[in-house]
Structure formats: C-alpha cells, structure tokens
Structure 1
Amino acid sequence: MSGRKPYKSDLSDERWALIEPVITAWKARHPSVSGHEGRYEMREIVNALLYQSRTGCQWDYLPHDLPPSGAVKYYFYKWRDDGTDQVIHDLLRWQVREKKGRPADPSLVALDTQSLHAAAGVPAKTTGRDAAKKVPGRKRGLAVDVLGLVIAVVVLAASAHDNAAGAALLDKVAAETDTVQKALVDQGFKNTVVAHGEQVGIAVEVVERNPADTGFTPQPKRWVVEQTNGILMLHRRLVRDYEHRPATAESRVYWAISDVMARRLTGSSTSWRGA
C-alpha cells in the first residue's frame, strides 16, 4: 500500500491472496507493447474499486493516495468486458460452497428483482419507470443459491416486467451451470417465466404468499435472495444506479459480493453499518 494509511475497505493479505493468482495470470496475458509492468500495483487498483463500491464515491473523488481514476477505470472496464470480474467471483463462490460442504454448483436457486432509482446522467434509453413500485430507473435481478451466493445477475430498465428479468436470469443460470434443476420465485413472476424455465430445463416454482401474513414475512428458502439484496445495499455504490451501462452495474454486483465472500473465507469482518 506504498506506506499509506489503510482504509477499512482495503484487502487484507489473506483476501488478496485469494484473487491475486487471477489478476497475475491476467497481467501475463496482457503485456504492454513496451513491456512496461505498469505504474500501479494491482492490489491498489482492486483496493480503489472496493473503496468506491463501499463508499459510493464518484470516480474523480477517489482519494489521492489511491491510483488515479483513469488507471482504475481502465482495469475496471477491461475486467468487466472480458469477464475477469465474474471469474474472480465464481472462484470465490465455489470456495465458499466447498467450505460449507456443498458441491461447486447448486441444484436450486431463488430469483428476485429490485427496482433502483437511477442517478442524473444515466442514459434515458437504458432506464424506465416501474409502474408498480413507482420507481424511475433500473431493475436489478438476482439468482442466488441457498447460501445467498449470486449465481447470475441482470440489470434492465425498471419498466421491464419481472417476466423479462426472470427469463434473462434463467438463461444466464442455464448458461453458467447444468446443475440447477429448480428455481423459486415470488408471485410477481407469471406463467411466462414458468414456461421459459421448461425451455431451459429448470423447473420454476411460484412460492405463494400466505394470505394471513401481514407486512414483510420471509418465505422459506426464497428469503435468502432478500438477504442478499440487503447485503448489496450496504455497498453504497449499489444503493442507486449510477452506471451508464447495465453491464457496468452488473460488474459492481460481482465486485461487492466477491468482497463479501473473501471476508467469509478468511474469517474477517468489518462494521458495515457504522462505517
């Protein structure tokens, strides 16, 4: 860290060790034309990404003792476009599942969507208004396993029906793994999603709400996706959608959950609510 005072979001040596091999291999595959190794440590680039995820700051407001925004942007977008962010995420997810005595990939997922306000400057062509929730912005869809770990994420205009998000999530889940046999959804998803599940080989079960329940009542097994949404809200960059491209918003989810999983694997924690 070049002698600077650490931030709470910084990677510990143990957490950096979990992802360093992926970053080092990436660097080896992408040498500069001049052969220069680069001015900034890769660990510091990742620290800057995690700082922004946790605090929600704009690019130009990254602290001066972290690498400049131009350098951090370069790697963030490169890793978004070539899938390195998801490679890191998936490797950590497999390790968390193995630590819990589970196979690498799940057989059951739960799906849910969440509508988020879009920040000023987000292109109107990628946003819309959720008519039911009265939210102008984007809709984030998650597919998670029984541990609440993300299997797939999609980001659409908030005006998109849950059916569209559900179908897109099922497509991604089916493309990622051939082990998922069943998906649990709430009553916001309709028969269209059930039918789409049949097409990709995943049985979709609509979990009915008990009419006698009042207020928020966690539903068995499906509640884990609500928990994951709550964890994402502790990363302030994800509380509102600031990203010009939906793919960037999806990458932010992978980095946030990767941070959570790395902490679980190393037994480290932070005061999320107090910081």
Structure 2
Amino acid sequence: MSERKRYPSDLSDERWALIEPVITAWKAAHPSVSGHQGGYAMREIVNAILYQSRAGCQWDYLPHDLPPRSAMYYYFAKWRDDGTDQTIHDLLRWQTREKRRRLADPSLVVLDTQSVHAAAGVPASTTGRDAGKRVPGRKRGLAVDVLGLVVAVVALAASAHENTAGIALLDRVAAQTGTVQKALVDQGFKNAVLAHGARLGIDVEIVERNPADKGFVPQSKRWVVEQTYGILALHRRLVRDYEHRPASSESRVYWAMSDVMARRLTSTSTPTWRGA
C-alpha cells in the first residue's frame, strides 16, 4: 500500500486479510494479455470502492491519492458482473454467522423493501414512482437473516409492486442457499409471494401489525431488516440511488455489508457520520 494519510474507510491489515485471498485468486485467474500486473495495488482499489461507499462522492471527485476513476470503475464493474463482490460478501457472512455460533446458512429470512430517491442522471427506464410512499426512484429489496445479515438483494424501479420484489428475493434466496425454510414479510406482500414461496419450499408468513399500535412499533424478528436498512444508511452512496444500472445498486449493498461484517469480525467500530 502506498504511503499516504489513511482515510477512516481504509482497510486495516486484519480486514484486508479477510478478503485478500479472494482478490488474489481472481487476479491470478484474470492475467493481463501483456503480462502487466496493473498499476495499482488491489488493496487500494478496494479502499477506493469503500471510500466512495462511505463518502458518497461522484466518480470524478475521488481523492487524487486513491486510484483514478478508470481503474476503480474497471474493477468495480468486473467484480459486479462476475459475482466477485457477492463471493466476498457471502464468505464474510458465513464467517460472521459462525462467530455467533450459528450454521453458515440460515433457516429463516426476513424480507422487506425500501424506496429511495434516484439521483439526477439515473435512467428513467430503470426507475419509477412508489405511489404509496410517494418516492420517485428505485425500490431496494433485502432478505436478511436473524442477525440482520444480507442473504439476497434486488434493485427495481420504485413503481414495482411488493409482490414483484418479494418473488425476486425468494428466487435469489432459493438459488443461493438450500437451507431457508421460512420467510417473514409485512402486510405489503400479498398471496402471490406466499404461493411462490410454497413452490420453492419456503413457508412465507405475513406478520400483521397490531391495530392498537400507534406510530412505529418494532415487530418481533422483523425489526432486524429495519436495523439493516439503518446500518446501510451510514454509507452515503446508498442514501440515494446514484447508479445507472440496478446491478450496480445491488453491488453497492454487497460492498457496504462486506465492510460492516469485516469490521465485526475484527472488532473494529464503524465510524458514524459525526466521527468520519
């Protein structure tokens, strides 16, 4: 790593050690035709991705002592398209669960969605308006385990029905792990999600709100997904949707959660907005 002043988002030696084997294996499997090893250390590429995730800056506003936009975007897009970002994320999730004395894959997940405003310049063809929440932009769907760790993520136009998001999430959960037997959802999800879950062998239960409750009242077990959305909001790149491609939006969630889990595995606190 080059000599420069550290940013709060930079990987420590301990956190880099958690993901370095995956990056090193990827690099070995993708040699340059010319044999050139590249002008930037892979650790610095990841540091640049994490910096942008936390700071939320535009590509051209990356600090000059980090790799430039061209190098960073090249690897961000490559790892997004071939699933390396999710491989890193899933390995960290398994380790985090095992540290908490749980099996690597969960048997229960919680599904929920969040509509976020899209930034100027995001293609209208990939966005819409959530009529219920009155939010123009994208709908971010998460499936999390009981620890609040992300098992699956989807990014859709905000106009997409909850059923569409729920069905897409169930498909991804079933494709990524064969252990999930039950999914908890709120009342925004309808019978189509329950029926789709049954076809996949997943029992979908709608957790109904107590009519007597006033304001926001956390629901048993389902509250963890709300906590995860709150944790993701510490990463300013996710406060709005700045990505032209929904796949990039999903990749941002994987990188943000990888950062969170790497910190938990190494007992490193996550800087808040006030402290960063």
Give the structure-1-normalised TM-score.
0.99
Determine helix, strand or coil for the equivalent of 2:116.
strand
Tell me the distance in 2 between the aligned counterparts of 1:266 and 1:232: 19
**Unaligned 5+ residue runs, structure 1?**
none
SS at match of 2:121: coil
Q: Give, as a single letter, the amino acid of the residue that structure 2 aligns with 1:173.
A: V
SS of alignment partner, residue 183 of structure 1: strand
DSSP-derived class of the 1:153 partner: strand
User: Corresponding residue for 2:147?
Assistant: 147
Where does structure 1 differ by over 3 angstroms across 4 or more consecutive aligned residues? none
SS at match of 2:129: strand
Query: What is the Cα-based RMSD across aligned positions, in Å?
Result: 0.5
- Tell me whether 1:191 sits opposite 2:194 in the alignment: no
Structure 2: unaligned runs, 5 residues or longer: none
1:239 aligns with 2:234: no
Q: TM-score, normalised by structure 2?
A: 0.99
**1:18 alignment counterpart:** 18
- Cα offset, 1:199, TM superposition: 1.0
In structure 2, the residue corresponding to 1:24 is in which secondary structure?
Answer: helix
Q: CA deviation at 1:2?
A: 1.0
Q: Equivalent residue for 1:28?
A: 28
Deviations 1:92-146 (A, max 9, x none): 0000000000001000000000000000110101000000000000000000000
**What is the CA–CA distance in structure 1 between the aligned matches of 2:175 and 2:149, rounded to whole Å?**
17
Quote the residue 1:256 is aligned against.
256
The Cα shift of 1:271 comes to: 2.6
SS in 1 for 2:154: strand
Partner residue of 1:157? 157
Measured after TM superposition, the shift of residue 272 of structure 1 is 1.2
By how many angstroms is 1:270 displaced?
3.2
For 2:218, the equivalent position in structure 1 comes to 218
Name the CA distance, whole Å, in 1 between partners of 2:271 and 2:165: 33
Counterpart of 2:7 in structure 1 is 7
Aligned residues: percent identity? 81
Is the contact between residue 260 and residue 270 of structure 2 (CA under 8 Å) also seen in structure 1?
no
Corresponding residue of 1:180:
180
State the alpha-carbon separation in 1 of the partners of residues 230 and 193 from structure 2: 24
Number of aligned positions between the proteins? 275
Q: What is residue 90 of structure 2 aligned with on the other side?
A: 90
In structure 2, the residue matched to 1:230 is 230
Q: Deviations over 1:197-224 (max 9, x none)?
A: 0111100000010111111100000100
1:127 & 1:196 partners in 2: Cα distance? 25
Q: Please give the alpha-carbon distance, in whole angstroms, between the structure 2 residues aligned to 1:200 and 1:172.
A: 11
Q: Structure 2 counterpart of 1:151, which letter?
A: V
SS of 1:98 mapped into structure 2: helix
